[in-house]
Amino acid sequence: MKKLLKIISAIVAVIIVYCLMAIIFFDSRCHNEQSITINSSKEKVWQHTNSMKAFNTWNPWMKMDPNLQVTYRGNSGEVGDGYHYKGNDKVGEGEQEITSIIPNEKVGTKMHFIQPMDDTATSDLLLASEGSKTKVTWNIDYEINTLFKPMKPLMTWQMNKSFSEGLGKLKELAEK
C-alpha cells in the first residue's frame, strides 16, 4: 500500500510541477495554422470560402450538434456577413463575422464565443495558386487565460484535428 501511495504521490507531484511550469512559461497567445492543397482553381475553391454560409458547409463544428440553431445576418460574401449560433454543450453559443475580404485570396473573420466562456478570436482563410491547384491555409489566433495554459497542448491538438477535418471536407467539395 505504501508503494502505491508513493506512486500516486509522484504522479500528482509531476502534474503539479507541469502545471506550474506551463503557467509560468507557456505564452498565453495561441496560433494554429494548417494548409491543404486542393486540385481546383482558386475561383472554384473561393465559392466554398467566400461567405459564412459557404464556410459552414464544411465547418467541422457545425456537425457537432444536429439541432444547432444558426441565424445569418448581413450581405452574403461581404464584410459584415456573419452568423450567430447556439447549440449543445459541445458547441456552445457564439458568433462569427467577416471583417476583411480580398476576392479569391483571403477571408478574415472575428469570432465571439459567448458560452461556455466569453472569449474572442480571429481567423483567416488564405488561398494561393500552385499551378492549376490551390493551397488553402486556415489559421486562428486567440489568447488563453493563465489558468488554462496547462491545457494548451491539448487545445492545439484538438484545433489541428478540427482544421484537418474541415479542410478535408473543403477539398472534397471543391474537387467535385
**pLDDT tens track for 163-176:** 999 999 999 999 98
User: Tens of pLDDT along 68-93?
Assistant: 999 999 999 899 999 999 999 888 99
Residue 54 predicted with pLDDT over 90? yes
The residues with which 143 forms a beta bridge, in sequence order, are: 29
Element (H, E) at 113: strand 106-115
CATH number at residue 133: 3.30.530.20
- Number of Cβ within a 10 Å radius of residue 25: 8
This prediction has a pTM of 0.82
Beta bridge partners of 130: 133
Burial of 6 by CB count in 10 Å (0-12 exposed, 13-18 middle, 19+ buried)?
exposed
Domain of residue 58: give its range.
2-174
How far apart CA 171 and CA 48 sit, in angstroms, is 10
Confidence grade of residue 10 (pLDDT, cut at 50, 70, 90): confident
Per the structure, the count of domains in the chain is 1
Q: How confident is the model at residue 42 (pLDDT cuts 50, 70, 90)?
A: very high
The pLDDT assigned to 46 comes to 96
